[in-house]
Structure 1
Amino acid sequence: MKKIDYAVLLSLGALWGGSFLFMRMGAGAFGAWPLAGLRAIGAALCFLPLLLSRARLAEWRAHWKPIAVVGLVNSALPFALFTFATRSLPAGLASIIDGLTPMFAAVVGWLWLGQRLDGWRIVGLLAGFAGVAWLAEGSLALGPGAGTALLAGVVATMLYGYVVHYTHLRLASVNPLVVTVGSHMVAALVLLPPTVLAWPAQSPPLQAWLAAAGLAVLCTALAYVLFFWVLARVGATRIMVIPYLIPAFGVLWGALLLHEPVTAGMLGGCAAILLGTALTTGLVGAWRGTSRLAAEEG
């Protein structure tokens, strides 16, 4: 990997970790549905020029049904669920919950596709869910709505875990850019009615509008373009570092910019979730194998 690859991976962690900061900043003023809708609509408008080619439009028409499912499950619903969660949860805590995504992908693969879970992966699942329980206990002090918000975030990560396998099964041969652009267009259409119906009676302040713009342009449109660019350069194994960077940056941005407290419970829960993710996805073994191969080649 070159320096630019490391820089892009760090940038993606910062951008996707920053999405929880922006949701926390805008959710109170807009509400869950309008802010999620603005994110999807803004991203779709940014993406639209990328779909305007004959080949990409043909792929979209041929595969629009599974792409629509991805738009619903990977964008529309998780956007709304995490935005709802950040109305009650600190940005850092919400970003830690997002770190469960690879674990749920492993669980879905086991339950749905019969993928094997060895001893270390089972230990990883137990560690990760222990981390969630740790966070849930600590969230009780945040107020009566924190438990529901935590559950909403967990459901969002479950949807992310499902769509990983659905996309592989139904859309593996389709250009990933077509899937991304098309799914966000579907998400924008799905979220448009609730966005209009739930629009706040009082005009949101400038800070909330800037947060919505940051979500759409930086954390969604720009982030996905960078993701596919670096994926083509470094491969799927190395890019698995991103789920570890998102909680780290989410906690960092929340502490620096929103002055959120970083508690021992948050750090303990985060450590358990990240350990569980590493064991469940086999990332530790993959890194070890990559390092050994590099040493042999050297």
Structure 2
Amino acid sequence: MRRGDVGQLVSVAAIWGASYLFIRVGAPEFGAAAMGGVRAVAAAALLLPLLLWRGQLATLRRHWRGIGFVGVTNAALPFLLFNFAALTIPAGLSSILSATTPLFAALIGAIWLGERLTIGRMAGLALGFGGVVLLVAGKLHFLPQQDMLRTALASLACLMATLLYGISGNFSRRYLSDAPPLAVAAGSQLVAAILLIGPALLLWPAAPPSMQAWGAVLALAALCTTFAYVLFFGLIARLGASRAMSALFLIPAFGVLWGCVFLGESFSLQMGLSCLVILAGCALTTGLLPEPSRWTVPFMTKRA
């Protein structure tokens, strides 16, 4: 792997880790729906001209049903869920919970697509989800009952968003494998914009959001949803999907770092240990760590 590619991998992780910082800054002023709408509209406005320039509009028309599904599961609903979570929990915690995406992707792949789970992958799933329990339980232990419920709901919203990412990833793999990634990205943001613009206008905040909040949501659209996607797609083309996906394992570290540096969020030893357990589970599940056994367990009969 070239030094430039390594630098781009770290850059993608740093930018996507910053998305939780931007959400945490903007969501309290915009609200979940309005921020999701502004983000989707801005991202679509930036990605569609790029799509036209690349001459891929016909691809978008040809795959519009599948891209529409991805727009719901990979953009519109996760935007709302992560924005809702940011009203309660720190950016660092959201970023750690988002690291469960590979776990959900593997589990859904086994249930839906009939992929076989090795002993190592099953151990990774158990380890990763055990880390989530350890993390959330540690956050809830010392909270008053009202704050405990809000924190639990916010954590559940993050996990629901990563579940949707897992569904979207498997759907794209099965039904959109021949569609250019840029067409999927631009089309999904367009679908999200169409779905969220109505709720955004209906639930627009009474007090005008500050320039800081506007800067956060526009940075989220331009950097995290547009620029990082372009970098990531280039890495996939040069390195392959498995190596490019290694950037996802650095996102929680950057999410926690940006939260601590810019928002003054606390970082406990239990959060660090939980993060390591979750990432170790993801590494086992995705095959980045050696398998303890070559045995496989047929979760379901593999489809043709």
Q: Could you state the TM-score of these two structures normalised by the residue count of structure 1?
A: 0.93
Partner of 1:36: 36
Partner of 1:222: 227
Q: Does 1:137 align with 2:137?
A: yes
Q: In 2, distance between residues paired with 1:46 and 1:54?
A: 13
C-alpha contact (below 8 Å) 1:240/1:283 kept by paired residues: no
Q: In 2, distance between residues paired with 1:66 and 1:102?
A: 21
Q: Which has the higher helix share?
A: 1
How many pairs were matched up?
A: 286
How far is the alpha carbon of 1:57 from its aligned partner?
1.7
Partner of 1:114: 114
Partner of 1:172: 177
Q: Could you state the TM-score of these two structures normalised by the residue count of structure 2?
A: 0.91
How far is the alpha carbon of 1:56 from its aligned partner?
1.4
Q: Which runs of 5+ in 2 are unaligned?
A: 292-304
Match among 262, 266, 278 for residue 267 of structure 2: 262
1:92-103, aligned counterparts within 5 Å?
Answer: 92-103=92-103
Measured against aligned partners, the alpha-carbon deviations of 1:150-186 in whole angstroms (never above 9, x if no partner) come to 0000000000011111001111111111111111111
Q: Which runs of 5+ in 1 are unaligned?
A: 287-298
Identical residues among aligned pairs (%): 49
1:207-246, aligned counterparts within 5 Å?
Answer: 207-246=212-251
Match among 192, 195, 201 for residue 187 of structure 1: 192
C-alpha contact (below 8 Å) 1:71/1:183 kept by paired residues: yes
Q: Does 1:79 align with 2:79?
A: yes
SS in 2 for 1:283: coil
Measured against aligned partners, the alpha-carbon deviations of 1:48-79 in whole angstroms (never above 9, x if no partner) come to 11222595121111110110000010000001
AA at the equivalent of 2:170: H
Cα distance change, pair 55–216 in 1 and its aligned pair in 2 (3 A): closer
Q: In 2, distance between residues paired with 1:24 and 1:278?
A: 28
Partner of 1:291: none
1:245-256, aligned counterparts within 5 Å?
Answer: 245-256=250-261
1:35-54, aligned counterparts within 5 Å?
Answer: 35-52=35-52
